[in-house]
Structure 1
Amino acid sequence: MGLLPVVGLLAVLGHFSFRRIKQPKKTETTETLTRAPEPDGALPLIGHLHLLGGEAPVARILGAMVDKHGPIFSLRLGSHQALVVSSWEFVKECFTTNDTIFASRPSMAVSKYFYDHAVFALAPYGPYWRDVRKIVTLELLTNSRLEKLSHVRESEVDSSIRDLHLLCMKNVNCVGMYCVE
């Protein structure tokens, strides 16, 4: 092994060690006050997604987590963190007292680079989003506009069903009354 890979490895290890030492220490009280409990077993890229798969329905798995961690806990779904609230009292508090906090979308670099948060689906909650929602509700999603655009929906459904039928009929082996793919 050459000298360059060894020096590179030592430089990377030294850099991360120095960053770890220089990081300010978080006190235990601020950490517990700001974060909901999180189940063990999160993997680096997929988070807790592997815990939600399996034979049992997701509702049962989440119910077992509620029994273990309480009515509010957080899960990592991929790289995003999600808050799970299972008590109606806390849900009511989230949607009445703290509704503006929970109404906003997570900040993503994509929404910043694509039209500077001007896309309705990616815009953060605020005056712009409220104005665009009002315009969409009053102009685009009215009964008359939906009726005018019904032929577009019908043609899209027809083409989707036709594509699905062609895809299903490609490699079908029929035995008796049953078709097995």
Structure 2
Amino acid sequence: MPDLTIKRNHDMLGKIVSTTLIGALMATAAFAESPTKVKDVDVSIDLTAITNPKAAAYWTTVSDDLEGAIVARVTDQIADDGVNISVDISELALSNSFQSAFDIEQSSLVGDVKITSETNNTKFEAFELSVSFDQASQFLPEGYDLAQVTSDSKEYYTAMIGAFADAVVKHLE
């Protein structure tokens, strides 16, 4: 008879452990966060504050292009109750990056990013984001010769916009 009692206790323990593990796995899945929903994206820049006329002309569409790049990365996360993303691009950084054409590795795209929510007070973040050309180089076309990149080239511009948009979206995760 003792062997039967031990077997019953062992079977009961196995059922308890199995039930507990299944419950824990289900709870983990239930609490897994879904991507942050986004309601609005707004990017601004005061082009008149850029002291270098060539830089001002070059970066003319940066706010629209960056806004479009961010939206393109969150299209499956758009919702009326989502967060608002606002970016204020640093005019000084743009002007300085454009002037340092001979030292492109030191160039950067800088902006103040604010993530707010009208419905969820835990969804609030404000930070300065700086993306260097080194970070942006992964957005250059495959096989592109880095020695050919200049701070006024289309490839440089597209890479900087892509890297900045990716960095903003990563903060939503």
TM bucket normalised to smaller? under 0.3
TM-score (norm 2): 0.18
> Hey, which of these two has a bigger chunk of strand by percent?
2
Higher RCO, 1 or 2 (CA under 8 Å, sep at least 6)?
A: 2
